[in-house]
């Protein structure tokens, strides 16, 4: 394990750890301050949230920053080990899943060594993380830093919607569909053909004071078989991501910084499904179909927000369509171009 710099607490509970390492970011237009006793945590925060620096001041909420504090703290070696930990030479964090619980205004999570909590009514989150977790930046960001930050930020008018989103001529096309429907592949194909990327998998919607969609366009994760469609991906190795899925991680900067867009005010919704062996086709549909898809039987995490139906209704006000993606992926992209020309 690489050496992780941090200022340790002088007490066994971590109370005295100094949180003198700090940085602030306008995440999804909401001020967020990250505090830690380790410069390594702040460096990870910069890579996670640095893309939000330079956001137009008028888009940043006039509010005190939400606060995420991550304290690097070693596991107390005096704690008794379980039989399983003894068999694995005391590796408490190896392959241990995070268990999460949520109730009222409180969130808790642990994997046995790392402890996380968030208090939404106070706008604060606190985590005690091991040097081992900090040394694995992808796991630190996914399981702690980004998780806690987004939990806080999305509590007030930043509702997460499970959809990809590409943008052309200032208009976003939300791509809604079940897993394996090809949303990320379609997003990448659109990027190659001149679209901007707003998000590959999650769009955050603020709508109470006017519609605005927010996204994190920094990268796209594709299934390994995407090389069948895009030869330029052949040199990118598939790897297990922090969420446990085998994917190709593609940085969207390869298309230029202007192809990443963080927010947009206009949108149309497209339900996406596969139509193998046939031509791609686009058709208008009853708005009730995407409203139901976006507001009922939601996956865990997307069901923590009580205003999902209102958000869905606001989104489909811009139009509702079904895109059948056939064997001609380029044909599907062309149809989305026509849609954004309207």
pLDDT, tens digit (0-9, with 9 covering 90-100), for 45-75: 999 999 999 999 999 999 999 999 999 999 8
Asked if 197 contacts 166 with a C-beta cutoff of 8 angstroms, the reply is: yes
Which domains can be identified in the chain, with CATH numbers?
A: 21-153 (no CATH), 159-341 (3.40.50)
pLDDT, tens digit (0-9, with 9 covering 90-100), for 106-154: 999 999 999 999 999 999 999 999 999 999 999 999 999 999 999 999 9
On whether the pTM is more than 0.85, the answer is yes
As a whole-number percent, the residues of the chain with pLDDT over 90 amount to: 80
**pLDDT computed for residue 83 by the predictor:** 55
One-character DSSP codes across 186-237: HHHHHHHTT-EEEESSEEEEE-BTB-EEE---SEEEE-GGGGGT-GGGTTS-
**pLDDT computed for residue 35 by the predictor:** 98
Report residue 306's pLDDT band, with 50, 70 and 90 as the boundaries. Answer: confident
* Across 14-18, 65-69, 77-81, 216-220, least confident range: 77-81
């Amino acid at each position: 394990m690489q050496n992780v710099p941090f200022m340790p607490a002088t007490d066994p509970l971590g109370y005295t750890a100094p949180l003198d390492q700090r940085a602030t970011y306008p995440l999804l237009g909401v001020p967020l301050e990250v505090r830690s006793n380790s410069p390594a945590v702040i460096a990870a925060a910069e890579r996670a949230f640095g893309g939000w620096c330079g956001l137009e001041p008028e888009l940043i909420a006039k509010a005190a920053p939400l606060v995420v504090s991550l304290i690097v703290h070693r596991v107390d070696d005096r704690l008794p080990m379980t039989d399983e930990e003894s068999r694995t030479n005391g590796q408490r964090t190896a392959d241990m899943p995070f268990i999460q619980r949520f109730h009222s205004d409180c969130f808790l999570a642990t994997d046995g060594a790392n402890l996380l909590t968030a208090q939404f009514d106070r706008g604060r989150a606190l985590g005690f993380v091991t040097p081992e977790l900090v040394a694995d930046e992808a796991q630190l960001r996914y399981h702690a830093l980004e998780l806690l930050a987004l939990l806080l930020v999305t509590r007030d008018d930043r509702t997460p919607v499970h959809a990809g989103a590409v943008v052309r001529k200032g208009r976003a096309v939300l791509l809604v569909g079940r897993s394996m429907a090809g949303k990320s592949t379609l997003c990448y194909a659109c990027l190659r053909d001149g679209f901007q990327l707003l998000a590959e998998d999650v769009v955050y919607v603020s709508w109470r004071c006017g519609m605005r969609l927010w996204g994190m366009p920094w990268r796209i994760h594709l299934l390994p078989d995407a090389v069948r469609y895009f030869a330029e991906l052949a040199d990118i190795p598939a790897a297990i991501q922090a969420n446990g899925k085998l994917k190709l991680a593609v940085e969207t900067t390869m298309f230029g910084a202007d192809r990443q867009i963080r927010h947009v005010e206009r949108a149309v919704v497209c339900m996406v499904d596969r139509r193998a062996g046939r031509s791609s086709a686009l058709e208008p549909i009853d708005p009730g179909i995407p409203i139901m898809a976006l507001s009922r039987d939601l996956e865990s995490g997307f069901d923590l927000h009580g205003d999902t139906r209102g958000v869905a209704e606001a989104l489909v006000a811009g139009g509702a369509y079904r895109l059948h993606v056939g064997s001609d992926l380029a044909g599907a992209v062309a149809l989305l171009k026509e849609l954004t020309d309207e």
